[in-house]
Amino acid sequence: MTTTRSGGPRIGLFATCLVDLIRPSIGFAAAKLLEDAGCTVEVPPQTCCGQPAYNSGDRADAKAIARRTIEAFEPYDHVVAPSGSCSATMSKHYPELFAGDPAWEGRARAHAAKTHELVSFLVDVLSVTAVSAQWEGSATYHDSCSGLRELKVHAQPRNLLGGVAGLELREMAHPEVCCGFGGTFCVKYPDISNVMVGRKTDDIAATEADMVLAGDLGCLMNIAGKLKREGRRTEARHVAEVLAGMTDEPAIGEAER
Amino acid sequence: MVEITSPRFKANAREALADKDLQRALTKVPSGFIAKRAKAREKLPEFDALRDRARDIKNHTLAHLDLYLERFEAKVKENGGHVHWAADAAEAREIVLKICRDLDARTVTKGKTMISEEIGLNDYLEEQGIEPVETDLGEYIIQLRKEHPSHIIAPAIHVNRDQVEADFRRVHGHLPQDRDLTAPETLLGEARGILRDRFLKADVGITGANFLVAETGTSIIVTNEGNGDLTQTLPKAHVVLASIEKITPTLQDVSQNLRVLARSATGQDMSVYTTFSTGPRRADDPDGPGEYHVVLLDNGRSSMLGSEFEEMLRCIRCGACMNHCPVYHTVGGHAYGWVYPGPMGAVLTPSLIGVDKAGHLPNASTFCGRCEEVCPMRIPLPKMMRHWREREFERHLQPATQRWGIKGWAFFARRPALYRAASGIAMRLLGAMGRKRGRFASLPLAGGWTSHRDFPSPQGKTFQQQWAERKR
Ligand code: SF4
């Protein structure tokens, strides 16, 4: 591992396209958490991990986008993303995408091996056990599918949230059930997606928590959008915002104060 | 023949979502199956290791499928039975008809078999003047209702108890009107009473097979009602309908795979009945059928061997994938539009009827991964659905808007500098429009999203713009 002057690992932060476009504050929260843990954080030019193309069956575009991403992040010790879904695309699917490609398979594997979802990276790799953040109120945590099933992100965010002063964690009955986002699924099959997200917001509402948290902005936009449409008051935020103590920005879908 | 409505999956789904009875019935799926499987898994610490073994056994079998099929055929013949090879549904139907005709059969009883659905056997037999009688309670109910199974192990899961009661009162008109049918057992008892008579009258009994054992020429069914036993022992002939991938090398392998089957399906350690049939009645047997026939159906499966869909042939039809599927939970099995619903259907159906007809199925998944997580045979269902999407993309089978949406997005995503310039302008604009309210109730080109939920407003400048400014 190459180290920087500060001694910590050099991180290429992969913000994810949604965070880049819709909610940059999550990117800054991720950077703060990583810097607080002793890392040097850089943000090389980036677009998207290629998952929308990959999951739509468009392998050629997925590969072209993946090659760009791999190249851009080659200089770093680790690639860290505030998203289970994008991390899983890079760490689980890039090698499959380039299997049998002599020029790129090795590079894809190297990229995959050093890619991590933000919260599990903090806990599992950097051994962070507590954060110095505060949030008054109750929160419930939604396990987004890729993070949970492909990357085994489950206990890590709960453990760190347990250390946030003032925050009371309340579990949903089914935190592990898909919210119905599914990338392009939610616009290809809007009626089905709507029922799924409706079940999710019912489950959230039943906890009577003030806020719902998750590790993926896609799911959060879906959930927040539904909560707002239903006129519910539950806030939605990325878990990194709370862990970094950066909750000044209005919550997702919330009006400016 | 089961009518194929997979091309109208979206309309099917909309109807399913609007059907209050169906929605009421579907609540049984997650509440009934998920916790039971989880408990069964918890009680058996080696469960996940058994899944690995089950996968390995089946992989080995598929690698030598021709060999094991031939061994099975030889063994069945040795035991005095007959093996019939059916390349497609039409051949399978004709084979069954010929067996029935040779015995002058008027009535056939049937245990639960999805292959019968796949080949459309009931309608065909009726057309030929032979009456098929379903003896599994769930199958009996849907036969009364002139429906098809909506689940591979719980065919009538889409029907509520009160609907069954009404059907029984309607069809069993000769029974006293004031009888009590409120408990599920009373429904089973009544069906049994009606069926007892039919069992005795049947000339041919047709069952499926959960396993075919190459080593011994045995077919095996697992049931919870015992109806299969009467179906296959009482009539003159027992006909087993099975697809070729049901082959398992040895009894040892079967006993291993049985340990994951019922646990994954219903959470039972074992199903109540596990019945082994090896050939027709022998001279010293107290009972049994005079003839024993196995119809081995290919119907497109051999072309899956060696393809990226080969792993689907490991499926043992436990139903766990659909029991855990949030899409199945919302629309039920009929929406999928053919015999096999849920995640396994999303992979298998395009293989069997063509992706041009079944193209929606592998797309109607969020890739949440719960199916793969619970599949006892460790079939990578999402990965294979993605392979179908790739085939569709190559063949331009997806809607043009979808294809060009992805292509348009990819055009920018492949060009970081252009992407940053374009997204920078777009997000500033959107942010300026939406930030005050925090969200959009409608957005051009995003109706699929905003018809059901608000679209959270971008904050304004992109992360990359802000990061660059901060670093300057
Ligand atoms: S795909 Fe797996 S989980 Fe689904 S029915 Fe087949 S064996 Fe069971």
A27 touches chain B (CB under 8 A): yes
> In this predicted structure, what is the pLDDT of residue B1?
54
Residue located nearest, by CA, to atom 6 of ligand 1: B315
Residue with tokens 């109607």: B364
ipTM > 0.85 (yes/no):
yes
Does residue B472 carry a pLDDT above 70?
Answer: no
User: Mean pLDDT over residues B134-161, rounded?
Assistant: 96
From the CB of B320, is ligand 1 less than 6 Å away? Answer: yes
From ligand 1's centre to the CA of A159, what distance in Å? 34
Whole-angstrom distance, CA of residue A67 vs CA of residue B222: 50
A250 touches chain B (CB under 8 A): yes
**Please, which pLDDT band fits residue B79 given cuts at 50, 70 and 90?**
very high
From the CB of B159, is ligand 1 less than 6 Å away? Answer: no
B462 touches chain A (CB under 8 A): yes
Domain boundaries, chain A: 2-124, 130-243
Least CB–CB distance from B427: residue in A21, A221, A253: A21
* Contact residues on chain B for A256, CB-CB shorter than 8 A: 435-436, 438
Number of neighbouring beta carbons within 10 Å of residue B185: 8
Question: What is the 3-class SS of chain B, one letter each residue?
Answer: CCCCCHHHHHHHHHHHHHCHHHHHHHCHHHHHHHHHHHHHHHHCCCHHHHHHHHHHHHHHHHHCHHHHHHHHHHHHHHCCCEEEEECCHHHHHHHHHHHHHHCCCCEEEECCCHHHHHCCHHHHHHHCCCEEEECCHHHHHHHHCCCCCCCCCCCCCCCCHHHHHHHHHHHCCCCCCCCCCCCHHHHHHHHHHHHHHHHHHCCEEEECCCEEECCCCEEEEEECCCHHHHHHHCCCEEEEEEEHHHEECCHHHHHHHHHHHHHHHCCCCCCCEEEEECCCCCCCCCCCCCEEEEEEECCCCCCCCCCCCHHHHHCCCCCHHHHCCHHHHHHCCHHHCCCCCHHHHHHHHHHHHCHHHHCHHHHCCCCCCHHHHHCCCCCCHHHHHHHHHHHHHHCCCCCHHHHHHHHHHHHHHCCHHHHHHHHHHHHHHHHHHHCCCCEECCCCCCHHHHCCCCEECCCCCCHHHHHHHHHC
Q: Which is higher by pLDDT, B347 or B421?
A: B347
High-pLDDT (> 90) share of chain B, %: 77
Strands B82-86 and B291-297: parallel
> In this predicted structure, what is the pLDDT of residue A3?
41
From ligand 1's centre to the CA of B313, what distance in Å? 10
B290 touches chain A (CB under 8 A): no
Instruction: Measure Cα distances from B440 to A195, B432, B460 in Å.
Output: 20, 12, 14
> In this predicted structure, what is the pLDDT of residue B315?
98
> In this predicted structure, what is the pLDDT of residue A6?
57
pLDDT tens digits, B187-242 = 988 998 999 888 888 999 999 999 999 999 999 999 998 888 888 888 999 999 99
From the CB of B344, is ligand 1 less than 6 Å away? Answer: yes
> What's the gap in Å between the CA of A17 and the closest CA on chain B?
9
pLDDT tens digits, B64-77 = 999 999 999 999 99
Domains of chain B: 6-297 (3.40.50.10420), 400-471 (no CATH)
> In this predicted structure, what is the pLDDT of residue A4?
45
Residues 131-190 of A with CB under 8 A from B: 145-146, 149-150, 176-178, 180-190
Interface A-B: count of C-beta contacts within 8 A: 222
Does residue B427 carry a pLDDT above 70?
Answer: yes
* Contact residues on chain A for B410, CB-CB shorter than 8 A: 50, 52-53, 58, 61-62, 64-65
From the CB of B321, is ligand 1 less than 6 Å away? Answer: yes
Does residue B17 carry a pLDDT above 80?
Answer: yes
pLDDT tens digits, B294-337 = 999 999 999 999 999 999 999 999 999 999 999 999 999 999 99
Whole-angstrom distance, CA of residue B401 vs CA of residue B412: 17
Mean pLDDT by 10 residues, chain A (257 residues): 63 97 97 97 95 94 96 98 98 97 97 98 97 96 97 98 97 98 93 97 98 98 97 97 96 89
Topology of domain A130-243 in CATH is Rossmann fold (3.40.50)
Token output for A221: 């936009």
Per the CB < 8 Å rule, is A255 touching B437?
yes
Per the CB < 8 Å rule, is B367 touching A184?
no
pLDDT tens digits, A29-86 = 999 999 999 999 999 999 999 999 999 999 999 999 999 999 999 999 999 999 999 9
Mean pLDDT of chain B: 94
User: Mean pLDDT over residues B424-434, rounded?
Assistant: 87
Helices B137-144 and B184-201: crossing angle in degrees, nearest 10, is 80
* Contact residues on chain B for A199, CB-CB shorter than 8 A: 326
| Ligand 1 atom at shortest distance from the alpha carbon of B152 | 5
Rounded to the nearest 5°, which phi and psi values hold at A162? -60, -25
> In this predicted structure, what is the pLDDT of residue B233?
85
From ligand 1's centre to the CA of B312, what distance in Å? 9
Q: Order of strands, edge to edge, in the sheet holding B218-223?
A: B247-248, B211-213, B218-223, B273-277
Residue of chain B nearest A147, judged by CA positions: B368
Whole-angstrom distance, CA of residue A138 vs CA of residue A204: 12
Least CB–CB distance from A20: residue in B406, B415, B464: B464
The CATH number that domain A2-124 falls under is 3.40.50
Per the CB < 8 Å rule, is A187 touching B449?
yes
